[in-house]
Amino acid sequence: MERQRDIRHHDHGRNSTRERADRRGHHPLRCVRFRRILPLLVLTLLAWGAGPVAPLLAQTDAVPAPARVLMLSDIQLEGATRTPLATVYRYLPLRPGQPIDQQSLVDGVAALREGGVFRSVDFYTRPGAQRGQLVLVLEVVEHDVDFRWAAGNTNLDGWYLSPAMLTYDNPFGRGGRSDIQWRVGFRTTGLLMSYAQPRTADGRRYWGTRLSLMGTERPWFADGVEYRHTVTSFGWAGVHGWRLGGDDLLEAGLSLEGLDVADHATAYTNSADGAVTIDQEVSGAALPPAIGGATGRDRRAIVHLDWQHDTRAERKRAGTPVSGAWGRVKAHTVVQGSRSHVGLQADLRLFREVPGGVLATRLRGAWVGRPAAFYDRLYLGGMYTVRGFPTHALSAPGGDTWLAAGSLEYRTTILRDARGARLAGIVFLDAGAGGASDAPDPYTGVAAAAGYGVRARVWWLDWVGVDVGFPLTERPLDMRFQVNASIGWSF
């Protein structure tokens, strides 16, 4: 009884385990066993609740900590002696005060390099005045006078090679480009002196000016003989363009030029009866009226308006954009006395990736007024219209006033290297028609040809190629096939 009294007396105190057990009427050994299994019960309950709890914990762990945002506090230019930051901002898509990360920094400097304002561009960063700020330092080397080789095209109208070019880019610190070049193109050669401003202060406009002296051999056919007629032009041209958006461009231009059309043509092939031989000169009354009436010197002014749309993809396969389109509509007016006229042309090129390569399509239509001289008229046949026929062989000597043509090409890679396609093959189908209301047409109807070709990428020249075309329709000349060599692609 004394024991029991002691237990009651300590009922609200710090009783021992044995005392608590005695109070509840349990044996102390049983209480010890309960203590041993109690952790197991707790673990069991936790395991039972782990189903709904674990995903919540996993989701909580998966949420990343907010990234630290850096602010571009300043951009500094080192190494530039004539170029201000205002010019750099025309090409660099970064500005002080904007948030910055590593990728946008690298992409921005890459855009500046592609602009070509400097010979080289390096960069580094350092902390700004406050925590979380960054200063971008651009280390640049400006251009000197360079001697280059070059290849290019004039708005995709035709490719040319510049075997010798003296350039001085960014001469005044405004991002302009100046050069003096000797140009060799599709039966053309000449000297040009140019200055261009690719981007003005607003970044959307551009302009350029040029002095030129060019000689062109205009081929024409008469009685199965190919003749070459030299036309020399010299003068000044200026353009001003607007980038209307990411894909559209509008350009206006003015040209003032003098012309000197040779008073004779030179035979390039022999006639079937032997009356005309290679290198024989034909002049005066022996020239077709449309040719003879345009010889001599003349002056003129040309105004043009050109709209272009370009959605071609940057990614290429077989040297060709894998998707997108390039199109243009161009109108021009020629003021040249009795030969004054207007002209209009439309051009569309489509690209689509298909199994094994790329399918390329071109549709073209053009028209010029009847007063136009032969050197301003349209001609069918050759590399840029219907392969399989000699250049200009499907038109009258004086040229056509309207023309419609289309081409379909399948292009595929034959050999490749680290830069992409190195050797490409093509299979093509061309068709076209043309005519003039003031001259008999030596070839009526639609002309068609099919063939194949190759394009090789030369490291210093880009693409060069050869096409072999086979006529599918009537041949005005006794030729079973036609071989065309080109710089670049036909379109």
For 457-473, give one letter per residue: b (16+ CB within 10 A) or e. Answer: beeeebbbbebebebbe
Query: Which amino acid type is present at position 372?
Result: A
Structure token digits, residue 67? 């990234």
pLDDT of residue 48: 44
Q: Which residues contact 344 (CB under 8 A, 6 or more apart)?
A: 329, 330, 331, 332, 366, 367, 368
Contact 127, 133 (CB under 8 A): yes
Task: Kindly state the helix (H) or strand (E) to which residue 254 belongs, with its residue range.
Answer: strand 248-261
Residue type, 414: I
Residues 185 and 260 in one domain: yes
CATH of the domain at 95: 3.10.20.310
pLDDT score recorded for residue 49? 45
Expressed in angstroms, the distance from the first to the final Cα of the chain is: 116
For residue 337, count other CB atoms closer than 10 A to its CB. Answer: 9
pLDDT tens figures, 32-68: 444 444 444 444 444 444 444 444 334 444 445 555 6
Would you state the pLDDT for residue 32? 40
- DSSP string for residues in 460-479: TTEEEEEEEEEESS--SSS-
Say which amino acid occupies 98: Q
Residue ranges in the chain modelled with pLDDT below 50: 1-63, 155-156
Domain range for 22: 2-62
Q: Check whether residue 137 and residue 159 sit in a common domain.
A: no
pLDDT at 18: 35
Give the pTM. 0.79
Q: Which of 35, 62, 89 is the last residue of a domain?
A: 62
* Domain shared by 55 and 87, yes or no: no
290 three-state secondary structure? helix
Residues 43 and 101 in one domain: no
Number of domains present in the structure of the chain: 3
CA atoms within 13 A on the CB side of 144: 2
